[in-house]
Amino acid sequence: MKPEFSDYLEKTVGLTGLYLERAENAINFYQNPFPEDIKDIFVSEYIDKEGARQYENLWIFTSNMVGEAKRFITEEDFDATPIKNRIVYWRLKKIAFDGKKATNDSRMTINISMDTDVRGELKASKENCMKLQGIFDKYLVPNAIQIIDV
C-alpha cells in the first residue's frame, strides 16, 4: 500500500487495528481487477450523536475507474464502474467548511449519479473534508458530462 494511503487512513481518518486492516484488505482487493494504478482513496464517514466517527464505505479512484467497498469494516461488498466522463449529476453540501480549511465542526456530503445508473454518496467530517474536496476537484467535476447546446 502506498505510504500516502497509510498516512491518510491513520492520521486523517483515525483508522487503527482491525479497522485499518480491513481498509488495507479492500485496497489490496482492488489492485487485482483494476488494470491501472490506484491514484486515490477516500473513506466515507460521519460523526454520530455521541461524537464518535462512524465509518461507512471505502472509495478507490484510478484515472478511469471508481470502486466502492461498501461497509468495509464489517463486509466484503465491492463494486466498480468507469468514471471517465460518466457523471451526470452531483450535489455538494457543506457545513462549517469553506473548502480551504477544515475545523472540528466541518462536514461535507457529495451525492453523485452516473449515466450508468450508478449512484453514490461520500461523507466527510473534520479534516477529512479537505480530502473530499480534493476528490471532488480531481475526479468528480472533471468527469461530469458536458452538455453543449447546438
Q: Domain of 18?
A: 3-143
- Whether residue 18 lies inside any domain: the answer is yes
Measured distance CA(25)–CA(57) in Å, rounded: 13
Which residues lie across from 135 on neighbouring strands?
A: none
Mean pLDDT of 113-134: 96
pLDDT-derived band at 142 (thresholds 50, 70, 90) equals very high
Query: pLDDT above 90 covers what percent of the chain?
Result: 89
Would the pLDDT of 109 be above 60?
A: yes
Instruction: Give 29-85 pLDDT, tens digit per residue.
Output: 999 888 789 999 999 999 999 999 999 999 999 999 999 999 999 999 999 999 999
CA pseudo-torsion sign 111, 114, 116, 66: negative
Instruction: For residue 106, give the nearest of 118, 95, 117 by alpha carbon.
Output: 95
Predicted local distance difference test score (pLDDT) of residue 145 = 87
139 vs 149, more confident: 139
| Residue 76: inside a domain | yes
For residue 149, tell me if it sits in a domain: no
- Tell me, what's the pLDDT at 64? 92
Residue 122 lies in a domain: yes
Q: In CATH, what number is assigned to the domain containing residue 90?
A: 2.30.29.30
**What is 67-110 written as a DSSP string?**
EEEETTTT--EEEEEE-TT-EEEEEEEEES--SS---TT-EEEE
Q: Is residue 81 part of a domain?
A: yes
Instruction: Flag whether 150 is in a domain.
Output: no
Q: According to the model, what pLDDT value does residue 1 have?
A: 83
Domain count, the chain: 1
Task: For residue 13, tell me if it sits in a domain.
Answer: yes
**Residue 148 domain-assigned?**
no
Exposure of 131 in the CB half-sphere (CA atoms within 13 A): 25
What single-letter DSSP state applies at residue 124?
Answer: E
